């Protein structure tokens, strides 16, 4: 038995450990979005009583009606989970009745591309007064190393109404709260790896918190990777996503060179991918999207500056990827010019607005930046995406657009492929359109003088 487990056996947290192992622990999930809702459903599937918390009353009411607001989560999963005891609420006072609380709230960038922890801090401020001794609190939101200890722990201890203190190694308070960090590892649209097969990384403020978090997540995931601290777990998530960011930036930059040289970058990547060692294929696109990969480099570079360190390599990768929507719009302009048409006054249909194919997720989607840039140049922009009937107001944009029909593609001066959804008939799109600009290589193998690949 490990040291942490030995400590548990003689300490008050043995009660919560027993409740976790017997599936009687009451679980709270805060933030019922693309990470929190699927996690709540997993716990419900294992038989745990689960309470979901969200400040969005519309989400809570939708779940109460047995309906889902996430495309990949069918209504039936919500209804089955409700039969197993899943409930949703906006009332944080219910926190006191739980054994373990998991925070899954957004961590975006602010207008200056600096970390915006307002969702995390406001959440912890809301729940801290209701926390009671013996509870496990886990942060899953992607953030910079040090957030759990430097932000979450002080708020918990300063606002807790019961005088509870966070347990630290070598110091088990009379009324302890156990705090850990475990980064979410979501990949929307990936059906090749079962969620339970994705290893779960956990790092607690003390050994007991690590052991409790390990026990909690081991009920869901087949492999748990424990690390020595929350900071290690926080850095692990950043490394995973910055690795992707840097490699995508590499192929994006090579794509720009290959376009000038008349070389097909996609053919190059496919050929390189035949090497059975030392190479992993990454693919270029119109820019990065999703909550993590476009965000994480800036979280880490911000933290690095506090230590007098500049992450020049990582910052450059972020700049390359951020420039790709501008490249796409420039390519649209050049393609229209070849038809003796200016961008100003031209009608452009954007195909696909989600940040990757076959998902209903708009977070940081390059399509939104592209639409904004085209509108700024005077284009009349429409869009089509089977996952979004309307484009409503977001943190950055307020387009007020409705999904257009695909019945009359020839009426547009340009059809721009931004997201290559599988249910698009690209042969038909090319045949019916005056001009197609393809930023995803979706028309590969289709030969037409009206197709421009960018």
Q: Which residues are catalytic?
A: 292
Contact predicate 417/286, CB 8 Å: no
- DSSP bridge pairs for 405: none
The separation between CA 75 and the C-alpha centre of its own chain, rounded to angstroms, equals 22
Nearest to 415 by CA among 340, 352, 342, 325: 352
CA dihedral of residues 140, 153, 8, 217 (deg, nearest 10):
0
- SS3 category, 338: helix
Q: How would you classify the pairing of strands 200-204 and 176-181? A: antiparallel
CA dist list (Å): 336 to 205, 346, 430, 443 = 57, 8, 16, 18
The residue behind tokens 């959440």 is 123
Alpha carbon distance 121, 247 (integer Å): 32
Residue reference for tokens 């930036």: 249
Distance of alpha carbon 359 from alpha carbon 365, whole angstroms: 12
Which two tokens mark 146? 């040090």
In angstroms, how far is CA 114 from the centroid of its own chain? 17
352 strand-pairing partners: none
Could you tell me where the DSSP H helices lie in 183-225?
A: 207-218
Give the integer Cα–Cα distance in Å for 238 and 231: 11
Secondary structure (3-state) at 188: coil
Strands 401-402 and 414-417: what pairing?
unpaired
Which stretch of DSSP H or E encloses residue 252?
helix 230-261
Return the residue matching tokens 């070849």: 338
Residue 143 buriedness (CB in 10 A; 0-12 / 13-18 / 19+)? buried
In whole angstroms, give the CA distance from residue 5 to residue 417: 54
3-state SS assignment for residue 13: coil
The residue among 105, 172, 102 whose CA lies nearest residue 134 is 172
């Amino acid at each position: 038995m490990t040291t942490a487990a030995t400590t548990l056996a003689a300490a008050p947290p043995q009660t919560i450990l027993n409740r976790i192992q017997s599936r009687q622990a009451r679980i709270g999930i805060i933030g019922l979005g693309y990470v929190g809702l699927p996690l709540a459903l997993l716990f419900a599937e294992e038989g745990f009583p689960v309470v979901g918390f969200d400040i969005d009353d519309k989400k809570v009411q939708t779940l109460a009606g047995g309906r889902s607001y996430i495309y990949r989560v069918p209504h039936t999963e919500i209804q089955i989970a409700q039969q197993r005891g899943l409930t949703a609420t906006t009332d944080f006072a219910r926190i006191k009745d739980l054994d373990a609380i998991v925070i899954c709230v957004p961590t975006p960038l602010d207008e200056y591309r600096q970390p915006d922890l307002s969702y995390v801090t406001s959440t912890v401020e809301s729940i801290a007064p209701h926390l009671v001794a013996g509870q496990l609190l886990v942060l899953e939101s992607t953030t910079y190393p040090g957030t759990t200890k430097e932000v979450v722990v002080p708020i918990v201890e300063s606002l807790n109404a019961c005088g509870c203190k966070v347990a630290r190694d070598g110091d088990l308070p009379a009324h302890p709260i156990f705090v850990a960090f475990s980064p979410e590892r979501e990949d929307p649209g990936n059906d090749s790896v079962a969620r339970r097969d994705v290893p779960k990384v956990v790092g607690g403020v003390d050994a007991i918190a690590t052991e409790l978090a390990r026990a909690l997540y081991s009920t869901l995931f087949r492999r748990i990777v424990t690390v020595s601290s929350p900071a290690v777990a926080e850095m692990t998530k950043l490394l995973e996503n910055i690795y992707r960011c840097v490699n995508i930036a590499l192929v994006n930059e090579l794509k720009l060179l290959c376009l000038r040289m008349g070389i097909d970058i996609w053919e190059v990547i496919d050929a390189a991918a035949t090497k059975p060692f030392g190479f992993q294929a990454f693919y270029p696109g119109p820019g990065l999207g999703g909550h993590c990969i476009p965000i994480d480099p800036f979280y880490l570079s911000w933290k690095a500056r506090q230590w007098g360190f500049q992450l020049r390599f990582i910052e450059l990768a972020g700049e390359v990827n951020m420039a790709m929507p501008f490249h796409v719009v420039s390519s649209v302009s050049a393609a229209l010019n070849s038809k003796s048409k200016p961008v100003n006054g031209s009608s452009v249909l954007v195909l696909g607005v989600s940040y990757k194919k076959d998902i209903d997720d708009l977070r940081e989607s390059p399509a939104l930046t592209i639409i904004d840039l085209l509108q700024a140049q005077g284009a009349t922009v429409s869009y089509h995406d089977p996952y979004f009937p309307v484009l409503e107001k977001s943190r950055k944009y307020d387009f007020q657009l409705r999904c257009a029909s695909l019945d009359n593609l020839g009426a547009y001066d340009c059809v721009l492929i931004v997201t290559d959804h599988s249910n698009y008939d690209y042969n038909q799109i090319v045949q019916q359109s005056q001009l197609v600009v393809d930023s995803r290589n979706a028309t590969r193998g289709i030969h037409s003088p009206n197709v421009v690949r960018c």
